Amino acid sequence: MLYDIPTFRLMGDRALLVELGDEISPSINRKVRELFLKLDRESVHGIKELVPAYRSLMIVYDPLAILLTALKEVVTRLHGETHGPPIPEPKKLDVPVVYGGRFGPDLQWVADFHGISPEEVVRYHVQPVYQVYMIGFTPGFPYLGEVPDAIATPRRETPRTVVPQGSVAIAQRQTGIYPVQSPGGWQILGWTPLRFFDAENWPPTPLEIGDRVKFFPIREKEIPDWQS
C-alpha cells in the first residue's frame, strides 16, 4: 500500500529512513525515485547522501547543519508537490546467462522444489522484463522484480560463504546478479559473463534504479562472445 504521507524512522543520529509504502510495488518504487530526484534537485544544506530502496529512501545528513524537524518538513513538502524533475527513461539491458551445471548449482533444486523441469525454470526466469528496484548489498548488486510465482523460491537455509562474481540467482520473488564474489544465500540458477561492477569506470555499474533487465539463455561455448 502506498502511504498518503511519509513515515519516518530514525537510523542512528545522522540518518533518516523515509518509508513511502509497505510492499514491493512499481508505483511505490516510482514515488521513491520521484522523492530522490526532488531532494537531489533541491540541494538541501546538510544532506550528505541519498540511498533509494524498494519502498523507502534513506537520507544521511549532518545534524549540526540541519535539524531533524527541518529535514522532515522538507521531505514532507517535496513529497506533496505534484510537479518535479522528470524521471529519466529507463535503460534496458539484455543479459546472457549460462543456466545450470557448474554455473547454476541450485537450478535442479529449484526445479524439484516446484515439481517442474530445469528447462521450465529457465523458461519462467527469462519470461519477464525485470525492473531494477534498488542497488545494494554489494556495490552494483541489482535487486530485480518480480520473478513469476511459478518459480518464487525461498533463500537457502545455509548461505554460501563464496558466490562467484556474475552468478544469477533468485530469492522469493526477487532475482539478482552478484557483481563481485561474496557470501550469499540466494538460489543460483546460472552465471553471466557481463560485468556489473568496475571501480575503474564511471559509472561503475551499468544499471541504476528504474532500469530494465531481460535475461536470455546462452550455451557455455558462447561465453567468449559475451566476455566484457
The yes-or-no verdict on residue 161 having pLDDT over 80 is yes
pLDDT-based confidence at 228, cuts 50/70/90?
low
User: Is 19 within 8 Å of 5 (Cβ atoms)?
Assistant: no
The yes-or-no verdict on residue 135 having pLDDT over 70 is yes
Q: Read off the pLDDT of residues 49-73 as tens digits, 9 standing for 90 and up.
A: 999 999 999 999 999 999 999 999 9
- In this structure, what C-alpha cell is assigned to residue 39? 531532494
User: Is 93 within 8 Å of 228 (Cβ atoms)?
Assistant: no
How would DSSP label each residue in 196-219? S--TTSSSSSS--TT-EEEEEE--
Give the angle subtended at the CA of 50 by the CAs of 142 and 48, to the nearest 5°: 140
Q: CATH: 3.40.50.1000, 2.40.100.10, 2.30.30.40, 2.40.10.10. Which one for 92-226?
A: 2.40.100.10
pLDDT-based confidence at 88, cuts 50/70/90?
confident
User: Is 178 within 8 Å of 156 (Cβ atoms)?
Assistant: no
- E strands present in 37-186: 47-52, 56-61, 92-99, 130-135, 142-145, 160-163, 167-171, 174-177, 182-184
What count of residues does the chain have? 228
Query: Residues spanned by CATH 3.30.1360.40 within the chain?
Result: 2-80
- In this structure, what C-alpha cell is assigned to residue 99? 543456466
| Range 75-94 average pLDDT | 89
Query: Residues spanned by CATH 2.40.100.10 within the chain?
Result: 92-226
pTM: 0.90
> Does residue 227 come out as left (phi exceeding 0), alpha (psi in the -120 to 50 range) or beta?
beta
Residues sharing a CB contact under 8 Å with residue 113, sequence separation 6 or more, in sequence order: 153
Report domain 2-80's class. alpha beta
Q: Read off the pLDDT of residues 166-187 as tens digits, 9 standing for 90 and up.
A: 999 999 999 999 999 999 999 9
